[in-house]
Amino acid sequence: MSGQYQFDPPQGSLRASVGRGAAAIAASQAVMVATQMGSVIILSRLLAPEEFGLVAMCAPVLALIGMLQDFGLVQATVQKPNLRHDEVNFLFWVNVALSVALALLLLLISPLVALFYQEPRIGPLIAAMAVIVAANGLGAQHAALLNRRMEYGRIAIIGVVGAVAGLATATVWALVQPTYWALFGGQLAGTLLPAGLMWIASRWRPGMPRGAEGGRALIGFGAGITGFNFANFFARNLDNVLIGRVWGGAQLGLYDRAYKLLLMPLNQVANPLSKVMIPALSRMLDEPGRYRSAYLRVLTLSLLLVLPGVAAATALAGLLIPFALGEQWAGSAPIFMALGFAGLLQPLNNPAGWLFISQGRSTEFMYWGFATAAFAVVAFVLGLPYGALGVAVAYAISEYLKTPVLWLYIGRRGAVRAGDVARTCAPLVVAAHAALGLVWLARPWLSEGRVEALLQGAALAYIATILLIAPFPTGREVLREAWLLIRGGLIRLRGLTIRRATSG
């Protein structure tokens, strides 16, 4: 069966696959974001800040292990033209070998991590995470094949099942034993179940371990991705390490909850979209105009979707945090507000990775990762003396400083130039900032009830953003695209309702 396996989607199905993929991703992400938010809200009420702080101390170590484990081989599987079974088989066994080795390494270093944090409870928790590392390696290539074949419906279902299973496990565990082990149990369930489902859904089975012609080139491509991920590891996790080491678990718990409540939902939009866009863009390299149009269309639509929500949440952080997490988390509100400004730029900057990877520019991607790490290290060191809030403010400032550098760097080559991004996206980004200020000024006139005030703030942010971008040609174009998508979805929903009623 593996020898007859078709590694690419059917010919002529690219546009339809992208459309169906976007719909499937949108539906699944609505559930995933709700699950993520539910996880933050429910578990924050069942567990103390210190329990989250302990797990957050482990996060940098796990992120580093996960980055080394992947080694860019998943992206190599997705991006490479004319992929063969022997190449996938080679990459599968490389993933498995790396996963086993890193799981053993995690066991060995767990006492050292506990010693670093001066927290004995960290050692057993880190050692237990080795199971999660091993499980990730077993399902990586199967997930990559589903992504390459653009089987987004299956990917969406598996993602939702894993997220719901993880939340359910953590919640039940926390009710029985309200400790950090409940968070570990949720992560374990959210890893093991999707890995097994990926094997079933992909239908590809590995052969015996052996090399492959062109294997060195695949490893080289993956090395560039790994270089970026290694540098990005510091940019994403050094804040947790420094806050945990200098200020302790309580401050880190406040920072971690604010970060997850705001920036993690943004990743729930960007990361799945990358599964649609990277394979699609990789097959448009010979059509620069189509490539540029597809990239900018998806980027602007995603900005219209998320930026007004980020603006409203940032402006109303003082209401949102106690409502969502409970009054005991009120100290997270200023941190959340500071991170919110970074959240206004990350949906613009994160998709730049689609360009690097789809164009095969993994070495340049690695260099940009080093630059990102440099921005982050300087920001965290400068902000650390002022606690978790100081780190959040410095992180937001660094995001503004690196944004023009990123687009000038990536726009030197390829179909998408810095001017293209500035012309199409600047109205949306500026409008979102203006909407944030407007909602913040309108706070005294919002309803006294928290739910009503939050809904009013969100509505005001979206209306203000739409009105502010409408005078610009690119703004009108993204509004037209959004309306066509909404109308198409409503028509399909109406047709489905009619068919169900007729069949019933």
Query: CB neighbours (10 Å) of residue 472?
Result: 18
pLDDT of residue 24: 66
Are 371 and 402 in contact, with CB atoms under 8 Å apart? yes
Are 359 and 285 in contact, with CB atoms under 8 Å apart? yes
pLDDT of residue 471: 95
pLDDT of residue 1: 42
Strand, coil or helix: 285: coil
Tokens of 2: 């593996």
The pLDDT tens digits along the chain (504 residues) read: 444 566 666 555 555 556 566 666 666 667 777 777 777 778 888 888 778 888 888 877 887 777 776 666 677 777 666 677 777 788 788 888 888 888 899 889 889 888 888 888 888 888 888 888 888 878 878 887 877 777 777 877 888 888 888 889 989 998 988 888 988 888 899 888 888 888 888 778 887 777 666 666 767 777 777 778 777 777 777 888 888 888 877 788 888 888 878 776 676 667 667 777 888 888 788 889 989 999 999 999 999 999 999 999 999 999 999 888 888 888 899 999 999 999 999 999 989 989 998 888 888 988 998 898 899 889 999 999 999 999 999 999 999 999 999 999 999 988 999 999 999 999 999 999 999 999 999 999 999 888 999 999 999 999 999 999 999 999 999 999 888 878 876 776 676 666 666 665
- Please count the residues of the chain: 504
For residue 460, give the nearest of 485, 438, 477 by alpha carbon.
Answer: 438
Strand, coil or helix: 287: coil
pTM score, whole prediction? 0.71
The radius of gyration of the chain from alpha carbons, rounded to an integer in Å, stands at 23
Largest alpha-carbon pair distance within the chain?
68
Q: Following DSSP, what letter does each residue of 239-258 receive, concatenated?
A: HHHHHHHHHHHHHHHHHHHH
